[in-house]
Structures are given as structure tokens and as C-alpha cells.
Amino acid sequence: MISINSNYQKLKANYLFPAINERVRNFVDTQPKTDIIRLGIGDVTKPLPAACRSAMKAAIDEMGTVEGFHGYGPEQGYSWLRETIAYHDFQSRGCDISSDEIFISDGSKCDCSNMLDILSKNNSIAVTDPVYPVYIDSNVMAGHTGDISSEGYYEGLTYLPITADNNFIASLPKKKIDIIYLCFPNNPTGAIATKSHLEEWVNYALKHGSLILFDAAYEAFIQDPDLPHSIFDINGARQCAIEFRSFSKTAGFTGTRCAFSVIPKDITGINHEGNKVKIWDLWMRRQSTKFNGVSYIVQRGAEAIYSAEGQKEIKQLINFYMTNATIIYKELEKVGFNIYGGQHAPYVWVKNPVGQTSWDFFDHLLKQANVVGTPGSGFGKAGEGYLRLSAFNSRINVETAMNRITSMY
């Protein structure tokens, strides 16, 4: 008999979205004519930009010719895409990142999980509470945690609460932590960090020799040019941070799949003999062995995001979702709700106005307004009492949902 990776058995059942679907199904069974509006989803709703589609169609035609055919590509991604990204997203903003520090991938979810392949289980790890659940579950699977406690916390992880009291920005840990996950703009709370917040984290990491895993999947939603768009806007981050970026939400690539990680060559870790090793070398080795790159066609589609037409189209996409977020924010504010996020992120984090649990709030909105949100407690204990509403929907659905909710109050 083979033995399995028993770490998987430590995982808490992934009950959040099945539980939401079950409650919605049960409700619809009793009220079959109900028009349910789902503001719980974290997936985009608008189609792919025309610039990306034309580039991908042209790439398919190229692939049908002997001269234009592409087989296995470079595991790190084509240099023309990496150079475009390095220039547009980093160098043009004054960040010192070179194209060979960019690794193209099929998603940030995979990148932030796969990164654990090259990190030892001896590192101490901190995540925020609430949090994007992948950071926790991938560490559990890799055997970097103990069992889950009756309160729902994994042994061996440090949880940094993010609440209204700290403006949803985690305070620096009192003790030394080796690996810290940060996500800005934040999923689920919609919070954004200022430059001085990130400077505190970079200084902490430099002082303790820590590594920051910085998830910037929602970077494109930042509305204020003075806010940091990248951890590499901060001096010293080259020595202590890896950044994850994705085209999923930026350009409607959730089903097309393309993302990238930025791994500066300055970051080092210590091996079992106490010698310094470059993280870049390990990740390159990992990708060359376990990954065969993103398809040529998709990389051409991603490159087109940076064309003049592509930039115009993605600005329209982001503006559309951010207008939805503003409508949600303003309408709920009018009826006196406590609301957070939604200004530099497609998520609005809503406090239960009558002080019950997240699930009570969920049921209340489902039954009274036929609107579905995502219970904040599903992202961690400190999310209890909140609901996440997403701006990824049609304008008419967002407006109708807000009319229904506000007329209840």
C-alpha cells in the first residue's frame, strides 16, 4: 500500500463556497421565482479585451506556419513579454527590476503555492487574519504547519489580525518571523497600504532577514498614483521581497491564465550548511524542472495588454468595476453601514449593521434582498461579522442589488 501526504488530512474542509451554494439552493427551492444577484464572486464578468483577442488570433495563425510555429518556449517566459513587463510595470515607475527577474506563469495562485517548494519547513510564517486562504492551505499541504486547533488556527502559523482598529493593516509581529504574506490591494478586505506602511514591513524584513511574499494581484485597481503599486516602490525591497502579479483581474484573464512573479537576484537564503544561496537560482531550477511555460498564444495575448489599445481597454475594464465598487460603497454608506475597501480594490468589506455573525448577515441579505455576499468569517476568525461584496458584476445587477438592500434600511 502506498502512503499519502497526510498533511492534506490536516486541511479544514473547503466549505465556504459549497456552503454558500447550498444555502442559496435551499432558499431557491422554497422560492423558485426569486431573482438572485450574486455579489459573492471573485471572478471577472467582462469579456477579454479586443487587443488581446486579436494578438492571440494572430499567434494562432503564426503557429499554423512552418516559420511561425513555436514548440516548447523558455520556462521563464518569452523575453519580449518579460522586457515589456519590466519596462512598463517597474522601470518606468523608477523600480530597479530587470526582465530576467520576471518569471511568467499560469497564475498567481500557482506561484504563491509553488514558491514553498524552495523554502524550508523550518521557517516561521505569518499570515493575516482574514486572508486569501491559498497562503494557509498551501503551507498546510507542504507540511509547514501543525494541526488545526478547535478555534480554527493552524499550529505553527502566526496570525496577524487585520481589523477596523488597525485599518486592516497588520501590525508588525513582536517576534522574528521568517516569511510574511502581504496582499495589497487586499482580498478580502479591500484595504490598501501606504508607502509608510510598506516601508515599515521592508525595514522589519531587512532587520530580521525575513522574506515578504507580496501579492499584488489587484494592483491595477489602485486609483491613486501616490500609493505604492509594488513592493519594489520601497527602497530595500530588492533584498527581502518577492512579488506576485496576475493578468486575471487586470485584463479578464481568469480563464486564459497568465501571471508573473518578480524575484530579485539580491534575495538569498541559507542552506543546511549555513551557506547563502540565491532564491532566484532555486526558483529558476524549480521552474525548469517542473514547469514548461505558458503557451506562446497566451503570452502574445498578455503582451497586447501593454499596447496602446490594450492599455485603453483595460483602463475601461477597471473603471467599470471600480464604478460598481463606488456604487456599492456609496449606497451602503447612505443607509449608515460601516464599510471598508472598495476605493482601490474591487471588494467592499461590509460590517453586519445589526451586529450578528457573518452567516446571519448572509442569510438576512439572501432572504430579504435576494443578494448573495461572501461571509467574512470564511476568510478567517477576524473576518467574523463582515461580508465581502464584489464589484465583478453587471451595472444593472449592482444597482438593483443596492436598491434592494437600501430599501430594507
**Total Cβ atoms within 10 A of residue 54:** 16
The DSSP result for 171-197, as a single string, is PPPSS--SEEEEESS-TTT-----HHH
Q: Tell me if 136 contacts ligand PLP by CB under 6 A.
A: no
HSE of 215, CA atoms in CB hemisphere, 13 A: 27
Asked if 219 touches ligand PLP (CB under 6 A), the answer is no
Smallest gap from residue 83 Cβ to ligand PLP (A): 21
Stretch binding ligand PLP (CB under 6 A), from 81-89, 106-114, 291-299, 369-377 = 106-114
**Residue 246 near ligand PLP by CB under 6 A:** yes
Closer to ligand PLP at the Cβ: 82 or 364? 82
- 217 binds ligand PLP, rule: CB under 6 A: yes
Judged by CB under 6 A, the stretch of 66-74, 101-109, 202-210, 226-234 that binds ligand PLP is: 101-109
Q: Which is nearer to ligand PLP, 189 or 370 (CB)?
A: 189
Among 128, 248, 352, 377, binds ligand PLP (CB under 6 A): 248
Q: Does 256 bind ligand PLP (CB under 6 A)?
A: no
Question: Is position 215 an interface residue for ligand PLP (rule: CB under 6 A)?
Answer: yes
Compute the distance between CA of residue 241 and CA of residue 400 in angstroms, rounded to an integer.
42
Q: What's the closest the beta carbon of residue 86 comes to ligand PLP, in angstroms?
A: 19
When asked if residue 386 is in the footprint of ligand PLP (CB under 6 A), the reply is no
114 binds ligand PLP (CB under 6 A): no
Q: Find the DSSP H helices in 4-92.
A: 16-30, 50-63, 79-85
When binding is defined by CB under 6 A, the residue of 99, 108, 287, 324 that contacts ligand PLP is 108
Q: With DSSP H G I counted as helix, E B as strand and the rest as coil, what are the percentages for the chain, rounded to 5?
A: 45, 15, 40
Smallest gap from residue 347 Cβ to ligand PLP (A): 9
Binding string, residues 263-302; x marks residues near ligand PLP by CB under 6 A: ----------------------------------------
Nearer Cβ to ligand PLP (254/268): 254
Cα–Cα distance between 69 and 306 in angstroms, integer?
Answer: 23
Picking from 363, 350, 355, 341, the residue whose alpha carbon sits closest to that of residue 402 is 350
How large is the angle between the packed helices 50-63 and 308-334, nearest 10 degrees? 140
CB 244 within 8 A of CB 112: yes
Q: Which segment (96-104, 105-113, 268-276, 386-394) binds ligand PLP by CB under 6 A?
A: 105-113
Region 147-186 residues binding ligand PLP, contact defined as CB under 6 A = 183
Tell me how many residues contact ligand PLP (CB under 6 A): 13
Report, in Å, the least distance between residue 248 CB and ligand PLP.
3
Of the residues 24, 202, 237, 259, which one makes contact with ligand PLP according to CB under 6 A: 259
CA distance linking residue 8 with residue 142, whole number of Å: 9
Q: Cα(293)–Cα(274) distance, rounded to whole angstroms?
A: 32
Closest CA to 248 of 294, 195, 296: 294
Q: Of residues 82, 109, 344, 364, which one binds ligand PLP by CB under 6 A?
A: 109
Stretch that binds ligand PLP, among 3-11, 49-57, 93-101, 102-110 (CB under 6 A): 102-110
Side-chain-side CA neighbours of 234 within 13 Å: the count stands at: 28
> Within a 10 A sphere around the Cβ of 87, how many other Cβ atoms?
14
- Give the x/- contact pattern for ligand PLP in 184-203, rule: CB under 6 A: ---x----------------
Q: To the nearest whole angstrom, how small is the minimum distance from the Cβ of residue 220 to ligand PLP?
A: 12
Nearer of residues 370 and 390 to ligand PLP, judged by Cβ: 390
56: contact with ligand PLP by CB under 6 A: no
Closest CA to 192 of 367, 340, 384: 340
According to DSSP, residue 78 is labeled -
Report the residue number, 297 or 369, with the smaller CB distance to ligand PLP.
297
Q: Does 132 bind ligand PLP (CB under 6 A)?
A: yes
CA 350 vs CA 189, 342, 379: distances in Å: 9, 10, 14
- Contact between 210 and 178 under an 8 Å Cβ cutoff? The reply is yes
Q: Classify each residue of 344-379 as buried b or exposed e, where b means 16 or more C-beta atoms within 10 Å of its C-beta.
A: bbbbbbbbbbeeeebbebbebbbeebbbbbbbbbbb
Considering all CA atoms of the chain, what is the largest pairwise distance in Å, rounded to the nearest integer? 67
Q: Which residues bind ligand PLP (CB under 6 A)?
A: 42, 107-109, 132, 183, 187, 215, 217, 246, 248, 254, 259
